[in-house]
Amino acid sequence: MARLTKEDWLKKGLQVLTTKGYTNLRLEYLCEQLEVTRGSFYHHFDDLNDYVDKMMSYWEDNSNHIMDNVAATPGTPLERLSQLQRDVFNIPARLEVVLRAWATFNKTVLKYIRRIDRKRINFITELYLEYGYSQEAADTTAKIEYATYIGVQNLYFMEARKEAEALYYEFERVLIHYGKEKIGLKSAVKKG
């Protein structure tokens, strides 16, 4: 077998979290799954805590990559918001559900979850600001939308992805209308 890279280990950890949960994120289980000895693990990581930190950083980088791609996509703010939604519904919801559960008692995981939540909310807020919402309206709308996304993830993490996606898109349509009518869309709204 070829020598495993650090990325091989990180990908396997995320796969184990997605399919088996955080209780199976043990060195013995990972080595068994990758068919290697502990030496391979310690070649890349100091200990399991170091591994968890690097794995969460890897997850965060991948999450940031989605936002970076959407930011670079030409189009109106609403078109980019729709692109963001399509992209996030193509990642396994189960992984984030597991990470959020794990974050309730793992400070390292919590640190990354909180940081990515802030980045995602800020990104959505910027799209609504660009669309023409006031700062307060953009902040509120982004938080409501993101909270709904987290709720949909938890409700449908095992199945019915299409149903979850349809529900979320319908909510987003309602939220945009609500934002225009109730929260205070600026008078000079850019078309989009």
Instruction: Indicate whether 149 and 176 sit together in one domain.
Output: yes
- Same domain assignment for residues 63 and 110: yes
Q: Is the residue at 106 inside a domain?
A: yes
Tokens coding 101 = 């559960």
Domain interval for residue 24: 1-45
**Residue 72 within any structural domain of the chain:** yes
pLDDT band at 2 (very low <50, low <70, confident <90, very high): low
Instruction: State pTM to two decimals.
Output: 0.84
H-only helix segments in the chain: 6-20, 27-34, 38-44, 48-71, 77-88, 93-102, 107-131, 135-155, 161-178
Q: What is the mean pLDDT of residues 161-173?
A: 72
- pLDDT band per the 50, 70, 90 thresholds, residue 187: very low
CATH number at residue 5: 1.10.10
Same domain, residue pair 6 and 91:
no
Q: How many angstroms separate the CA atoms of 180 and 169, rounded?
A: 17
Query: What pLDDT, in 10s, does the model give residues 44-59?
Result: 999 999 999 999 999 9
pLDDT band with cut points at 50, 70 and 90 for residue 153: confident
Model pLDDT, residue 155? 78
* Whole-number pLDDT of residue 62: 92
Number of domains in the chain: 2
Cα-based distances in Å from 3 to 8, 44, 52 = 10, 11, 21
Structure tokens at 140: 């509120």
Residues 85 and 27 in one domain: no
Query: Residue 159's pLDDT band (boundaries 50, 70, 90)?
Result: low
pLDDT band of residue 191 (cuts 50, 70, 90) is very low
Q: What is the CATH number of the domain that holds 60?
A: 1.10.357.10
pLDDT score at 189: 43
> ∠146-151-155 over CA atoms, to 5°?
150
Token pair, residue 170, equals 């319908």
Is there a single domain that holds both residue 131 and residue 81?
Answer: yes
Residue 145's pLDDT is 86
Identify the residue with better confidence: 25 or 184: 25
Same structural domain, 28 and 98:
no
